[in-house]
C-alpha cells in the first residue's frame, strides 16, 4: 500500500453553555483522550491543539494520516509435534492453521523457542481509513471525559455535561461522515450567540481558528483569550489609577464565561470600603466575577473591572448596569457585617452543639472539642502555650453560624479572624482562626503563626480520623471530603515549617476522640499513618524527583516524626550518589535474604571466641568502630553523615563475603556469623532499609 497522505483533522462539539469552573479541565481531557485514541489506533499525527469556549470543545490534530498503516502480524500455530503425524503428514490442527493463514501447509514457517518448535505464518492486516475510525474515536474520547454529573436531552440516549447542538468534523477539506452524540457531523460551526448567530461554513480544518475569530467573534483558543483578558483587565485598572487583583482561578472562570471579552472599569460607593477587605473581594469575585482594584499601596479602591462578553455600542450602559448590580450585593455584606458583630464569637459556641457536623461524628461543638484536645497535645509536643490553640479551636467554627459566612462560604475562617479581632480576642487566637484551613489547595500559603499551624494540623487530622473511623476512606478518584488534600496539608505544614511532632501519638488521640466504636483501633491508626505518609510520595517526586525506591526504603521504617522522615529521605538520596552505594545496597539485600531463609532470631550477643576467619574479625572490628561513630550522628538526626560513615564499611563487607562461608554446618559458628550480619543490617536500618534500593 502506498504511504498514507496526511491532513489536519478538526472536531468541534457545539453545546449549551458549559460549566465555567470545569471548562479548562474538560478541554485538556478531551485533547488528551483524542491523542490516546489516535495512538491506540496507530493513526500518525504531528501533535494536538485544544480549543474551548462557553459553547464549544474542539481539538485540532496536525497532519493526521488518512489511514492506518498496514500491519504484519506473526501468528503462532500448533507445535510441530502436533501438526504432523508419525508419517510426516499434516494433521487437522495444521490444516486448520493453514486455512487461517490463507496458505498451504507447505508454505508455513517454523518458530523455534526454548520450549519447542511451532508452526507460524505472517499475515498482513490492511489499515482502515481515518474517516472510518474517527467518529467512534471521537465518541469514545467524549465518553471518557471527567464529568461528575451527565445529563440527557430530547429523546436521545446519549449523556453529556450539556446538550449538544452541532458536531463539526473535517479532515483537511473533507467532512467526515458519521454521528457523534447522536448528531450527524458536518462542516458548519456557529459563532458568538449574539454577534454572529448564523451558521459558518468551515472550508478546511486549518482555517477554523482564524475564521471563527473573523466571522464568528469567538476567540476559540483558551490561552489566547485568557491572555487578552489579563491584558485588558490590567489596562482598564491602570486607567483608573489602580492595579487589578485576581488569582488564576478567577481568570480561568472569566475566560470560560466569555468568547469575545471586553474589559470595562466601574466604581462603587466608597462608604463600602469600611467593610473587611476580604468581604468586598468575595462579593466582587464570588458573585459577579469582577476584578477588584487596589492602589499602589495595596489598599482596596472603590473600583472594579468587569469583563463583558461583547463589544457594546454603548459601554456606559454596560458599566452602569454592572454598578447597579454590585450595589445591593455590597449592601448585603454591610448588613451582615453589622449584624454579625452584635454577638461575639464566644456567644455562638453553645449553638454549635445544635449543628450536626456529620452523621455519626456528632455536632460542630463536638468537633471543636476534639480539635481543641488534639491541638493541646500538639502544642505540648512543640512546647507551646496551649491556651491560644485551645481557645482558637473552640471559637474556630463559630463563624459558620454568621450571616456573612452563610452568604460567602469561602470566607469561613477569614471572617472568624475578623470577628475575633472585633470581639477583643488576642491576636494569636484571631490569627489561628484565620489560618485553620490553610493550605486550602496545592501551592496555597501555609499558616504563619505557631497557633495557626497547630490548629490547622488538628483540624485536618480530626477530619481524616473521623472519616476513617466511619469507614469512609477515599477510594480511586473518589475523595468527597478532600482527605487527600488535608493529609498533604499536614505534610506541608510539618515539613516546610520544621515541626517535630509525633504523628502516631496524635493519630491515636484523634481516633480515640471519635464517637465511633472501632474494633481494631491499632490497625486503623496504622491505616491513617500510611494514608498521610503516602501523600508524601508524589510530593517528594515532584519537588525533588525522588525515586520511589528511595521513598520506600524510609517508609518501611515508619518514622514517628515526618520531619525525621524528611531527614532520612534526603540522606538516602545523597547516599545513592556515593560510589560504594551499589555494593552496600546489594550486600544488604543479600543479608536480608540470608537472614530470612535462615529464619534467624537474635537470642545472644556475638561470641568473640567464635570469630575465626580474619575477614569476619575485620568486619566485626569495623562494625564496632562504625557503631561508635554513628550513634551520636543518629541521635542528632545527621543521617547523611551517618550513611557516609557506613559507606566506609564496603571493603570489610566485600572481604567478608569473598572469604567467609556463612551457612556452615557448624551450628554455633553459623549462628554467630548470622548475628554479625544482623548487626550490620541493623546499623543501616537505623536510617533506612537500603536493601530496597536498586543502584547501578
pTM for the full model? 0.79
Q: Which three cell numbers stand for residue 656?
A: 567478608
pLDDT tens-digit map of 220-262:
999 999 999 999 999 999 999 999 999 999 999 999 999 999 9
Q: Could you give the CA distance from residue 412 to residue 286 in angstroms, rounded to a whole number?
A: 14
**CB-based contacts of 378, cutoff 8 Å, min separation 6:** 389, 454, 457, 458, 501, 506
Q: Could you give the CA distance from residue 12 to residue 142 in angstroms, rounded to a whole number?
A: 11
SS3 of residue 665 by DSSP: coil
Between the CA atoms of 513, 514, 517 and 520, what dihedral angle is there, to the nearest 10 degrees? -80
Mean pLDDT of the chain: 93
pLDDT tens-digit map of 441-489:
888 899 999 999 999 999 999 999 999 999 999 987 788 889 999 999 9
pLDDT tens-digit map of 627-666:
999 999 999 999 999 999 999 999 999 999 999 999 989 9
pLDDT tens-digit map of 663-680:
989 989 999 999 999 999
Q: Could you give the CA distance from residue 436 to residue 492 in angstroms, rounded to a whole number?
A: 14
Q: Which three cell numbers stand for residue 525?
A: 491508626
Q: Could you give the CA distance from residue 50 to residue 224 in angstroms, rounded to a whole number?
A: 12
pLDDT tens-digit map of 172-212:
999 999 999 999 999 999 999 999 999 999 999 999 999 99
User: What's the fold here for domain 6-68+129-216?
Assistant: Alpha-Beta Plaits (3.30.70)
Give the rounded distance of the alpha carbon of 693 from its chain centre. 26
Q: Which three cell numbers stand for residue 190?
A: 456557529
**Is the pLDDT at 2 greater than 80, yes or no?**
no
Do residues 463 and 370 lie in contact, with contact meaning Cβ atoms separated by under 8 Å? no
pLDDT computed for residue 598 by the predictor: 87
CA distances from 685 to 500, 643, 654 (A): 21, 10, 19
pLDDT computed for residue 284 by the predictor: 95
CA distances from 341 to 271, 275, 329, 401 (A): 18, 12, 19, 12
Q: Could you give the CA distance from residue 567 to residue 575 in angstroms, rounded to a whole number?
A: 12
Q: How many residues belong to the chain? A: 696
Q: Is the preceding omega at residue 427 within 30 degrees of 0, hence cis?
A: no
Query: What is the residue whose three cell numbers read 469567538?
Result: 218
Q: Could you give the CA distance from residue 576 to residue 688 in angstroms, rounded to a whole number?
A: 12
**Is the pLDDT at 267 greater than 80, yes or no?**
yes
For the chain, give every residue range classified as CATH 1.10.730.10: 571-692
pLDDT computed for residue 83 by the predictor: 87
Does domain 358-534 sit in CATH 1.10.3210? Answer: yes
CA distances from 569 to 603, 633, 650 (A): 31, 16, 21
Please state, as a whole number, how many other Cβ atoms lie within 10 Å of the Cβ of residue 550.
Answer: 24
pLDDT computed for residue 641 by the predictor: 95
Adjacent-strand bridge partners of 168: 12, 186
pLDDT computed for residue 696 by the predictor: 60
Q: Which three cell numbers stand for residue 435?
A: 489560618
SS3 of residue 9 by DSSP: strand
Mean pLDDT of 90-101: 90
Counting other chains too, the contacts that 315-321 makes at CB distance below 8 Å and 24 or more residues apart are: 315/262, 315/264, 318/264, 319/264, 319/265, 319/266
For the chain, give every residue range classified as CATH 1.10.3210: 358-534
Q: Could you give the CA distance from residue 417 to residue 557 in angstroms, rounded to a whole number?
A: 40
Between the CA atoms of 441, 443, 444 and 448, what dihedral angle is there, to the nearest 10 degrees? 130
DSSP letters of 40-100?
HTT---S-EEEEEETTEEEEEEEEEESBPPPEEEEEEEEEHHHHB-TTS-B-HHHHHHHHH
Mean pLDDT of 298-314: 94
User: What's the fold here for domain 571-692?
Assistant: Isoleucyl-tRNA Synthetase; Domain 1 (1.10.730)
pLDDT tens-digit map of 278-300:
999 999 998 789 999 999 999 99
**CB-based contacts of 480, cutoff 8 Å, min separation 6:** 472
Query: Which is more confidently placed, 602 or 213?
Result: 213
**Is the pLDDT at 1 greater than 60, yes or no?**
no
- Which residue blocks in 304-449 are alpha helix, DSSP H? 315-340, 364-381, 386-395, 403-407, 414-422, 427-435
**Is the pLDDT at 426 greater than 50, yes or no?**
yes
pLDDT computed for residue 183 by the predictor: 94
For the chain, give every residue range classified as CATH 3.30.70.260: 6-68+129-216
Element (H, E) at 118: strand 116-125
Amino acid at each position: 500500500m502506498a504511504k498514507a497522505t496526511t491532513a489536519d483533522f478538526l472536531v468541534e462539539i457545539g453545546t449549551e453553555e458549559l460549566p465555567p469552573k470545569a471548562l479548562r479541565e474538560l478541554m485538556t481531557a478531551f485533547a488528551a483522550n483524542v491523542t490516546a485514541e489516535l495512538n491506540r489506533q496507530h493513526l500518525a499525527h504531528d501533535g494536538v491543539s485544544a480549543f474551548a469556549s462557553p459553547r464549544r470543545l474542539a481539538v485540532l490534530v496536525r497532519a493526521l494520516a488518512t489511514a492506518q498503516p498496514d500491519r504484519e502480524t506473526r501468528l503462532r500455530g500448533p507445535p510441530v509435534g502436533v501438526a504432523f503425524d508419525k508419517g510426516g503428514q499434516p494433521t487437522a490442527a495444521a490444516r486448520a492453521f493453514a486455512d487461517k493463514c490463507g496458505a498451504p501447509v507447505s508454505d508455513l514457517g517454523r518458530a523455534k523457542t526454548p520450549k519447542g518448535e511451532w508452526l507460524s505464518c505472517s499475515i498482513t492486516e490492511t489499515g482502515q481509513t481515518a474517516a472510518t475510525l474517527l467518529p467512534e474515536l471521537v465518541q469514545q474520547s467524549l465518553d471518557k471525559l471527567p464529568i461528575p454529573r451527565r445529563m440527557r436531552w430530547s429523546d436521545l440516549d446519549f449523556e453529556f455535561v450539556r446538550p449538544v447542538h452541532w458536531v463539526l468534523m473535517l479532515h483537511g477539506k473533507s467532512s467526515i461522515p458519521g454521528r457523534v452524540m447522536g448528531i450527524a457531523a458536518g462542516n458548519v460551526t456557529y459563532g458568538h450567540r449574539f454577534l454572529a448567530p448564523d451558521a459558518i461554513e468551515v472550508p478546511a480544518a486549518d482555517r477554523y481558528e482564524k475564521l471563527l475569530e473573523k466571522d464568528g467573534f469567538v476567540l476559540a483558543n483558551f490561552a489566547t483569550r485568557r491572555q487578552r483578558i489579563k491584558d485588558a483587565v490590567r489596562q482598564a485598572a491602570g486607567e483608573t489609577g489602580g492595579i487589578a487583583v485576581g488569582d488564576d482561578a478567577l481568570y480561568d472562570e472569566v475566560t470560560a464565561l466569555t468568547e469575545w471579552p471586553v474589559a470595562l472599569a466601574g466604581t462603587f460607593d466608597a462608604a463600602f470600603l469600611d467593610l473587611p477587605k476580604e468581604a468586598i473581594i468575595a462579593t466582587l469575585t464570588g458573585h459577579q466575577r469582577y476584578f477588584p482594584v487596589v492602589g499602589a499601596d495595596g489598599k482596596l479602591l472603590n473600583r472594579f473591572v468587569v469583563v463583558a462578553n461583547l463589544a457594546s455600542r454603548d459601554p456606559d450602559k454596560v458599566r452602569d448596569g454592572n454598578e447597579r448590580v454590585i450595589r445591593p450585593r455590597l449592601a448585603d455584606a454591610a448588613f451582615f457585617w453589622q449584624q454579625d458583630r452584635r454577638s461575639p464569637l464566644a456567644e455562638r459556641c453553645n449553638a454549635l452543639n445544635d449543628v450536626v457536623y456529620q452523621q455519626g461524628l456528632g455536632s460542630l461543638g463536638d468537633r471543636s472539642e476534639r480539635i481543641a484536645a488534639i491541638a493541646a497535645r500538639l502544642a505540648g509536643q512543640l512546647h507551646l502555650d496551649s491556651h491560644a490553640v485551645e481557645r482558637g479551636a473552640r471559637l474556630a467554627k463559630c463563624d459558620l453560624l454568621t450571616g456573612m459566612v452563610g452568604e460567602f462560604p469561602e470566607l469561613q475562617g477569614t471572617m472568624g479572624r475578623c470577628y475575633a479581632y472585633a470581639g477583643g480576642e488576642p491576636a494569636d487566637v484571631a490569627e489561628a482562626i484565620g489560618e485553620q484551613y490553610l493550605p486550602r489547595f496545592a501551592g496555597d500559603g501555609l499558616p504563619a503563626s505557631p497557633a495557626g499551624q497547630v490548629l490547622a494540623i488538628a483540624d485536618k487530622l480530626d477530619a481524616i480520623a473521623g472519616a476513617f473511623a466511619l469507614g469512609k476512606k477515599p477510594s480511586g478518584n473518589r475523595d468527597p471530603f478532600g482527605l487527600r488534600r488535608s493529609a498533604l496539608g499536614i505534610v506541608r505544614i510539618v515539613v516546610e515549617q520544621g515541626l517535630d511532632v509525633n504523628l502516631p501519638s496524635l493519630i491515636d488521640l484523634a481516633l480515640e476522640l471519635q464517637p465511633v466504636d472501632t474494633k481494631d483501633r491499632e490497625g486503623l491508626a496504622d491505616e491513617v499513618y500510611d494514608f498521610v505518609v503516602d501523600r508524601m510520595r508524589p510530593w517528594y517526586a515532584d519537588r525533588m524527583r525522588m525515586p520511589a525506591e528511595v521513598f520506600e526504603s524510609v517508609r518501611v521504617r515508619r518514622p514517628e516524626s515526618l520531619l525525621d522522615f524528611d531527614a532520612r529521605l534526603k540522606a538516602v538520596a545523597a547516599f545513592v550518589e556515593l560510589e560504594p552505594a551499589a555494593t552496600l545496597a546489594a550486600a544488604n539485600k543479600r543479608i536480608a535474604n540470608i537472614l530470612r531463609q535462615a529464619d534467624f532470631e537474635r537470642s545472644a550477643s556475638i561470641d568473640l571466641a567464635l570469630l575465626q576467619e580474619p575477614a569476619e574479625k575485620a568486619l566485626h572490628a569495623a562494625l564496632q568502630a562504625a557503631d561508635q561513630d554513628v550513634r551520636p550522628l543518629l541521635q542528632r538526626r545527621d543521617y547523611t553523615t551517618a550513611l557516609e560513615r557506613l559507606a566506609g564499611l564496603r571493603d570489610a563487607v566485600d572481604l567478608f563475603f569473598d572469604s567467609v562461608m556463612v551457612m556452615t554446618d557448624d551450628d554455633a559458628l553459623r549462628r554467630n556469623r548470622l548475628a554479625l550480619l544482623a548487626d550490620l543490617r541493623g546499623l543501616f536500618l537505623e536510617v533506612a532499609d537500603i536493601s530496597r534500593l536498586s543502584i547501578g
